[in-house]
Structures are given as structure tokens and as C-alpha cells.
Structure 1
Amino acid sequence: MKTTSAAKGRMYGSELAPWAIVAVAAVSLIVFGGVWLGGTLGAAVTGAGWDPPPFTLSTFAELAAHGPGRLWPGAAPAGVFAGVVAVFAAGAIVMVLVLRKVLKASSRPKGLANARDLAALTPQGIAGRARDLRPSLKGKKELQPDDTGNLLGNLEPDGPELRSSFEDVELDLMAPRAGKSTGIAIPRVLRARGSVLLTSNKSDVYTVTRAERAKVGKVWTFDPQGIAHAPREMWWDMLAECMTVEGARRLAGHFVASINDDASKKDFWISAAQNTLTALFLAAARGKATVHDLLAWLADPADRSPIDLLRDADMTALAEQLQGTIRGAVETRDGIYETSRQCVSCLLDPEIVAWVMPDPDLPEFRPHEHVLGNDTLYLLSKDGGGSAAGVIAGLADATMRAGVGAAERMGGRLDPPMTAVLDEAANVCRISDLPDLYSHLGSRGINVVTLLQSYRQGSRVWGEAGMDALWSAATIKLLGAGLDDADFVEKISKLVGQQDVSTVSVSKGKEGTSRSLSYRLDPILPPDRIRALPKGTALLLATGIRPALIRLRPWYKEPGAAAISAAAAKEAEAITLRAAQKWTTHAVEQR
């Protein structure tokens, strides 16, 4: 047994001996070269001139035996030693930088898209696409980056800037505090060239962007529940969207969706409530009635006013259907009307309904005018019970449909494009047919960005089929940090693909050592690595391009962030002041 161990030791020693000789020679060369170059530079700097000694082993021996005086005559020893130290310090710094770059490059998973694969999203590729999509850019020699497309981020680790085109529609899935607001929503609003629509249940995006957007156009703030405690300085004629059966049905659908967790699962009461609300909305719009009249009709099913108004508008079939509902079994009628009342219960709040009632002292928000300019519309609402989600969804949908109409009148596409950031879309902006709208909004120059916390959150609102349709229709998808749905992450890992991984096997025998190479397929990004994506990074899935890992560009790291931060601080102070005043007023009224 001892003989065998000794034989193995000699075998290993014989294998390592050539490499040891090479390593000693390389280290000796580096040390000697550094001393030779550093001493010569130090002597030259201290006034002895450039007079390098011979680059030989005897020179190094002379230095070790007698010091630098014989090699660099007339040079101060301190200067020589300082030069040597400086050269080795510079070399160490270079080595550290190179090592960091190599480690960073090696940490990037192999098999993902590189800059060449993403050429269509790089500055040169996206600029050419922008000229094709925007007639107003033709003839301009130099384009501003934000005129060419929507900023996505930078390719990891040190790749170029990447942008999506103005006909892309985007779906972003990220956990809370993973960078949705700072890296996506705020930059999109700040960089938008045309009109802007933003939905949210928080005031953070509003606070940061309001002052900047006020510099380029009018700011409309629809804040019926006091998210930013903005004073009511506008009103929207909600019933103006209900002059047609389609418009009335769409608005009814938004209110129904606000209380229905899955658009694909409508029971009898939900479907009947949507039909009833459609008839009542249409009757109110055609008959010049108000929202208060509509609420009165819901409170008293026996009121024949909506039936008479529908007949006066030649909507006989709809009038007969509503009359049939009213004349039906009392239990059925009351169930339908009670469900309808629950759908529009937010309108019972006078602070909410005031925003959708005519007010001669305030300007009216008109969606068809908004989409043609550079104005900004902030739609803020709480989620949960009592929220104004139905109203928010109705106004957001009306604005996007106005954009489609304007695009058709302009030849097919808005120029400049409209930006719609649907933050918290599953909570405050449940547009039931959003997956269907995605398929053509991009081609109209309406850039929609839907922000969700997870795939499952979207499935609860639009159903599995609807969420699958939304996923398929989105031409740009960003998957950020904190995705904890195991099944979804596993599917993403399969979409990213697999790569060949080589394995070296070493076998030893009497004849010597032999090595064999074998390959196996491993995921490019295993599920656990997708789940553990660092904050500020995202996996980019673009149509027709291999997946890529990108680094988001938070607004506070961009040029001009200091001025934006200062304006945001002032806006935050104003919100705090308005909240305090509102609380004081409420306390006085309670007394």
C-alpha cells in the first residue's frame, strides 16, 4: 500500500513539475521587469535621466548585492525605490480591474443574448426604426435618444443602451420594491414625448414627475380618493362615453370588473348586472340625465324613467329587455339590482361622484383632446373596498380609445406617440379586455406598459386564458426581482433555454492518465437564479430575440436627477400640507 502511495506521489509530481517551472519563470520575469522599469522611471524623475541598465540576470544580482547606486548612477535611492513601488502599485490596480471585469463577465450566464443579437434595440437600430414609425422625424440628421424609443436599460454587464420601439407594448412583472416605479414608471413618464396616462394607487410617481411634466404640458390629476390629496381642478363627463351601446357596455364592464376577481368567471348575477348597467348608462347618456339620476333608478327598480328614455332614443329592444328584468320574479329582479348597486357603490361617495359630474367652474377633461398634445393625466385610486377602480378604468379606457380614434384620423399612428403606464393595473385599472387591446394599441402609436407584481395576480383579474393572451400579445416583457411563483419561474427557465455544459473525467491506470470530455444539457438560467435576480436587473424577453439580462436605469441615477429630486421634495411637502389641512377640516366637522 505504501508503494502504491509513493508511486502516485511521483506521478503527480512529474505532472506538476513543468508547470512549476513555468510559474517560477513567470513570477521572476514580472518581479525583475517591475524593478527594472520602476527603478529606471524613478531615476529619470529624480533628475538622473533615462538610462536603463541591461535587462539581464546579472543586473538583478548587482542590485541585490550593491543596491541601486551602480545601476542608476547619480539617482537618489529613495527616488528609485519610489519608482519601483509606483510601478508595482499601478500593476496591482490594473490586475484588480482586469480581474473584476473577467469575474463580472464570467458571472453573466452563457447562452443569453449579446449586443449583436440585440442590434435592433441598440441606439443605431432603434433610430432607424423610429424614422419609419414617426413621419415627423424624417429629414432630421440627429435625433434625441428619447425621440427614438422607450428606454429599457443597459445590457449586462457593460453592454449598450437598449430601447423598445414606439409600436411595442410591454408587460412587466416584478415584486414590490423591486424597481417598478424608480426604474420603469417614473423614467417612462419623464422621458415621454407625447401625451401621458398613468394609473397608480400610490403618490410616488406623481410626486417625482409632476413638476417636470408641467413644463411640457398641462397636468390633469384625477384623485377622487385623496391619494395625493390633490384639489379637484377638473371633471370628466363619464356618461359622455355611453352614447352608444358599445360605450355603455364597456363602462358597465369596468364597474363589474372592479368587484369581480376573474373576468372569465361571470355568474348569472354578474352578467345580468352588466346588462342592466349598460341599459341604465345608455338611458342616462341619451336622456341627458345625471349620475345622481342613475343612482336613483338603481335604488328604485320600479322607476320607468330609464325605459321611457330608451324608447325616446329608439332603443326599443334595450328598453324591452330592461322592462323584462323589472317585471321578472321579485327575488331575481332584486338580486340583479343589488349586484348592480354593489358594482357602482363607489359613486355613492359624494367626494368620488363630484369628479364625474359637470362643474361649470372647472375645466372639463376631454380624452380626444388630451391624446393630441403633451399633457399628462394622473389617475390615482386606492385598491380594495370602496375604491374608485371602476371610474379609473373607465377614464383610462376612454383615453386609450380616444388615442386609437386620433391615430386613425392621422393615418394609422399617433405622432408623437402616447405613453400609457398602467401601474397596479390589477388593482386600480381592471380593463377587462386589456389583453385584446394589446394586440393593436402598439400599431396605433400607443405605448402601453402594464406593471404587475406576479403572473398569478394578472390571472386573478383576467383569468388564465386572458393572462396568457396578455403575455402573448406583449412584444416586450421584463421580469424583475422577487418572482416567487414556482410554476411560472420554471416555465420562464424553459423559455430561456438550455446550454451544453462540458464535464471532464480523469481516469488513471498503469498506462498513465487519460481524460475524456462529455456534455450534458443544463438550463441557461435555473429557476432559483431567476427568482434571485438582483434588484435593479431584469430578464428581457423581446419578440424574435433571445432572452437577455439587462440593468434598469433608475431615474435618480440619471443626469438632472438633483433638480427633479428638489422638485419632488417640494411636491411631497405640499402633499403633506394638504393632508394635514384635510385632516384638520375633517376633525372640525366631526365636532
Structure 2
Amino acid sequence: MSGQRGGDLHDLLPWAIVAVAGTGLLMFTVAWSGGTIGAGFSGHGWDTPPFAMSTVSSLVSDGPVALWPTTPTTAVYAGIFGLLAIVAIPVILAVILILGRSNRPKGLANSRDLAAMCPKGIEARARELRPTLKGRGRLDPDETGNLLGELDPKGPELRSSYEDVELDLMAPRAGKSTGIAVPRVLRAQGAVLLTSNKSDVYAVTRAAREEVGTVWTFDPQGIAHSPRAMWWNMLAECHTTEGARRLAGHFVASVNDDTAKKDFWISAAQNTLTALFLAAARSNTSVQQLLGWLADPADRTPVDLLRDTGLVAMAEQLQGTVRGAVETRDGIFETARQTVSCLLDPDILAWVTPDPSLPEFRPDLHVLSSDTLYLLSKDGGGSAAGVIAGIADATMRAGVVAAERMGGRLDPPLTAVLDEAANVCRISDLPDLYSHFGSRGINVVTLLQSYRQGARVWGDVGMDALWSAATIKLLGAGLDDADFVQKISTLVGQYDVRTPSISRSKDGTSRSYSYRQESVLPPDKIRALPKGTALLLATGVKPALIRLRPWYKEPGSGAIAAAAKAETAAITARAAARLTGVSLGKQAPGRV
């Protein structure tokens, strides 16, 4: 070992001598040239001392004054240090650039790989997707695509196109709200739909969105303590068997942890709810009366109503359930009652009950506007998640219908931010609809805390389908699922590492190289991604590291922060008023 180190030092000695000599020559050249420049610019002549060893000796022993005796000392030193700065600055910048490139993980995408997502590429794509942009001159960046962030470490800005659909996995407090949800709502060009179980995004964005359109706040459980200023006709979506089954599925999914696994009682309850929703919608019966049918399985009214409207097969099926064994019938109806139990709360029921004194929310009109729909609900027992999923699904399906009428794609697109989708917006067939939404100009971004959280709702197969359908995937800080992180590391890939090998013999020294492969991002590096950064997996390009752009670091954030502070204070005041029993009254949509 010691012999090998001695040999290495012996090999390096000539290079060390060259480095020392070169550094000394460079320093002398800078002093010689800089002193001359200082003397010349100060008016004491451009006479240069000889470029010789005698000059070096005088410079070392007596200093620069000995070489330019008639020139003030300050002028000589000013010239030397000025030239030194001119030489040093490019060197320092080059070193910083080299170190920056060496610190960037090898094997990740650069700006050339992501050209389609950079400003020029994404603008060209936007002009293809949005007919209203054709023929226009300079476009606002927000008109061209959805801001994702900036390529780490120095940019450029990256955006997804209006046909991309997105899936983001990040731990709590990793930047989902500040870096994704809020910017996406603030920058949206068309209608907006946001689901959440907190009031933070609502508080930050409401005032800004109110300036571009009507703000509809659906807050049946008082997340933002917003007074009821709208209502949604839940049964309007149930005039067809498909619509009734979808609404029934949303209520079932809200209490079923894995929609891919439905036992007998869950499936039977969904069938029963489908029949009851159809009967109520076709006969203009209220939701409250529908709850009465559920409470009394022997009530034949829904069976008769289905027959009267021509739905004989559905009526026979419901009658078969009602006439079945008492234990089976009661089990099915009890399961159905549990799925819609949130409607027993009069505060929640009021939001889906017609109210002539308030405006009705119409999904078909919303998707063609620049309005904003906030869907707020608690998670856990008693939540209004089934209702939230129903209105969200109705709005996105209305977007599909509108897109078909417009030639295939919404312009401007509909922005749907499904924050806490696994808790408050369990649309059971969301994985199947994902790619279809993208082709219709409906930009959906689903925010989850982990891959496992999604698998708990949609099952392993459903979550795999959602993962595959998402054309943009952002993986942020705090992903602690070891198996998932290992899979991501495998997807990111490996790169070749060149290792030198030195061999010595009596004939001399030879150098050879061998190659081995290392992970571009090992699992521990993915888990330890800093807050505010994310791993970008986009279809058709190499993975990349990006830096999110939180709303509070953007231009104009001061006004948004002030509005958010005022809105938060208003939410606190409304909460206090509720506790003291003071009514704030009904107000128009968007007015809180």
C-alpha cells in the first residue's frame, strides 16, 4: 500500500511542478501587466519593465513600487487588482458552472431533452391545441400551458401542455398547496374546479378568481364557514341509468376503502341506490323523500314510479330486492343508508335541495365560463365526500360534452385540481377517465400523499392504471414507501461510471479504464428530495429534477398575501359567529 502511494506521488510530482510554475508565471504576468496599465492610465507613461527574472526578483523583494518608481502606489495597485478581477471573474464563473454540472445527477434530462416543455416548444404546441390562439402575436406564458416549475438548477421554465393530465405524489407540507394547487388555480385560463379538505387554497385564491368570474363555494361541512349561497340539483344527473349509477357509485366509494373490491352488500346497495335515484329524478321527487324510501324498504312508491316512467326492468329488480328475504333486504337497505348517511345532516342536505332564493349551480354552464368552483369537505366519518365526488364528476363530464360540441376540445381548457382526491373526491373510475379528459381539454391534476394512498382507494390495478394514464407525474419530498421508491429508482435508470486502473511494470506505467453502472437516483436520494423540488416523469422524455415555484415567490404575491390574510380573518370571524349562534345571512355567490 505504501509503495503504491509513493508511486502515485512520484507520478504526480512533475504535474505539481508545472502547476506551481504556471501559477507563479500567471501571477507575475498579472502584476507586470496591471502595474503597467495603472501607470499608463494615471498619466505616468506606458514604459514596461523587462519581462525577465530580474524583474521577478525586484517585484518579490521590493514590491511593485520598485518597478514603477514615478507612479503613485495606489495607481499601481489599482491596475494590478483591476486586471486580477478581470481575469478571476471568468475563471470563477467557469468553476461554478463546472461544479454545478458535476453536482447534477448524471443521466437526468437537460433543457435539450425537455425542449417540448420549454417556452418555445410549449407555445408551438398551444397554438396547435387552442384554435383561439392561432394568428395571435406574443402570448402570455399562462396561455401556453400549465406551469410545473423550473429545471434544476438554473432553469428554464417548464410547462405541461393542455392535453396533459397530471398525478402528483408528495408528503404533507412538501409543497402540494403552495407550489402546485394555488399556482394552478391562479394561472387558470378557463373554468376551475378545486376539491380540498382544508381552506388554505380557497383563502389564497378566492379574491383573485373573483376578479375573473363568479366564485361558487360548495362548503356543506363548514371548512371555510362559508354561508350557503348556492345549491346543486344532485338528482339532475340521474335522469339516465348511467347518471344514476355513477352518483350511487360515488356514495358507495365514499365508505368503501377499495372500490376495486365490492362485496355483495356494497354491490347490492349500489344497485338499490341507482333505482331509487332514477325513480326520484324521473318523478321530480326531493332528496328528502328519497331518504324516506330508504328508511322504509316496504314502501312501493319508487317501484310504481319506475313503472310509470317506463323503466320496467329497473322496477322489477327493485321489487325483487324489496320482496326478498327480510334479513337480506334489510342488510342491503342498511348498507345503502350508510352510504348516504351524510344527507341526514340538514346542513348538508340543504346544499342539494332546490332553493328559489339562491342561484343554482349548473355544471354545463360552468365549464364554458371563467368561474371557479370550490368543493370543500371533511374526510373521515360523516363527510360529504359522496356529494363532493358527485358534483366534481358531473362538472368534468359536462366538460366532456361541451368539448364534443366544440369540435373535440375545450378552449380555454377546464382546470380540475383534485386535492386530497383519495379522501374527499373518490371517483371510482377516475383511472379509466384520465386519458380521455386530457384529449378533451380538461386538465386534471390529482394530488395524493403517496402511491399507497391511491391504491387504498382504487386498488392496485386501478392505481396502476391511473399512474399509466397520467402523462405528467411529479414526485416530491417525503415519499417513504420503500418498494415504490425502489421502483422509481429503477425507472429513472442507471448511468456508466468510468473507473481508471493503473498498472506498473519494469517496462513502465499503463492506465486502463473499466465501466460500472450506478443508479441515477438511488432510493435514498429520492426519499430525501428537498422540499420545493420534485422529480418530473413526463411521457417520452428522460426524468428531470425541477424546482417548484411557490405562489408567494411570484411577482404580485404581496397583493395575494394581503387578500389571503383578509380571507383567513373572515373565515375565523365566521367560525366564531357560528359558535356564538350569530347568523351572517345569505349572500350571492363569491361574496363572503
TM-score by length of 1: 0.94
Looking at structure 2, the residues matched to 103 and 58 of structure 1 have their Cα atoms a distance apart, in angstroms, of 39
Which residue is equivalent to 1:267?
263
Q: Which residue of 2 aligns with 1:130?
A: 126
* 1:105 alignment counterpart: 101
TM-superposed CA distance for 1:67, in Å, is 3.6
The match for 2:142 is 146
Q: Tell me which amino acid in the other structure corresponds to 2:107.
A: G
Deviation at 1:60, TM superposition (A): 3.0
Match of 1:23 in 2: 19
For the residues of structure 2 that align with 1:563 and 1:425, how far apart are their CA atoms?
29
How many residue pairs match? The answer is 583
Q: Which amino acid aligns with 1:296?
A: G
Structure 2 counterpart of 1:438, one-letter code: Y
Shift of 1:583: 1.6
Partner of residue 340, structure 1: 336
Kindly report which structure 2 residues correspond to 1:126-275, keeping only aligned pairs within 5 A, or say none: 126-275=122-271
1:538 deviation in Å? 1.2
Q: For residues 288-311 of structure 1, what are the alpha-carbon distances to aligned partners after superposition, in whole Å with 9 as ceiling and x for unaligned?
A: 111110111111111111111111
State the Cα deviation string for residues 50-79 of structure 1 (Å, max 9, x = none): 665454443332333444334334432134
CA distance in 2, matches of 1:219, 1:131: 29
Q: 2:563 corresponds to which residue?
A: 567
- Asked if the contact 1:105/1:157 (under 8 Å) is kept, the reply is no
Give the match's secondary structure for 2:65: coil
Cα shift readout 1:226-274 (whole Å, capped 9, x = no counterpart): 1111111111011111111110000000000000010110000000000
Is 1:479 the counterpart of 2:472? The answer is no
Map of 1:357-396 to 2, 5 A cutoff? 357-396=353-392
Quick one: which amino acid aligns to residue 401 of structure 2?
G
Supply the AA of the counterpart residue of 1:262.
D
Q: Which residue of 2 aligns with 1:528?
A: 524
| Residue identity matched to 2:130 | R
**Partner amino acid for 1:169?**
V
Which amino acid letter does the alignment assign opposite residue 248 of structure 1? A
2:21 partner letter: A
Contact 1:425 1:452 in 2 (8 A): yes
Q: Does residue 1:301 correspond to 2:297, yes or no?
A: yes
Q: Tell me which amino acid in the other structure corresponds to 2:573.
A: L
| Equivalent residues in 2 for 1:300-449, closer than 5 Å | 300-449=296-445
Letter in 1 for 2:560: I
Q: Secondary structure at the match of 1:69?
A: helix
Summarize the Cα distance change of 1:137–1:332 in structure 2 as closer, same or farther, 3 Å threshold. same
1-structure distance, mates of 2:283, 2:180: 44
Distance 2:497 2:9 in 1: 30
Residue 502 of structure 1, CA deviation: 1.5
Q: Which amino acid aligns with 1:340?
A: A
Structure 2 residue identity aligned to 1:241: E
- Secondary structure of the 2:329 match is helix
Deviation per CA, 1:5-54: give whole Å up to 9, x if none: 7x878745542231122111122023223323443455456564666545
Task: Name stretches of at least 5 consecutive residues in structure 2 with no aligned partner.
Answer: 584-592
Q: Would the alpha carbon gap of residues 225 and 37 (structure 1) be closer, same or farther in structure 2, given more than 3 Å must change?
A: farther
TM-score (norm 2): 0.94
C-alpha spacing 1:504/1:12, structure 2 compared with 1 (3 Å): closer
Conserved 8 A contact 1:201-1:428: yes
Give 1:513's aligned residue. 509
- Matched with 1:554 is 550
> Using the alignment, how far apart are the partners of 1:549 and 1:252 within structure 2?
41
Give 3-state SS (helix, strand or coil) of 2:443's partner. Answer: strand
Q: Which residue is 1:504 aligned to?
A: 500
Moved more, 441-450 or 502-511: 502-511
Distance change >3 Å, CA 213–CA 67, structure 1 → 2 = same
Q: Structure 1: where are the runs of 5+ without partners?
A: none
Following superposition, the deviation at residue 396 of structure 1 comes to 0.2
- Preserved CA contact (<8 Å) 1:232 1:355: yes
Cα gap change, 1:75 to 1:231, in 2 (>3 Å): farther
1:117 partnered with 2:113: yes
Distance 2:42 2:565 in 1: 55
Structure 1 residues 301, 540: CA separation in 2 closer, same or farther (over 3 Å shift)?
same
Separation in structure 2 between the aligned mates of residue 481 and residue 550 of structure 1, nearest angstrom: 12
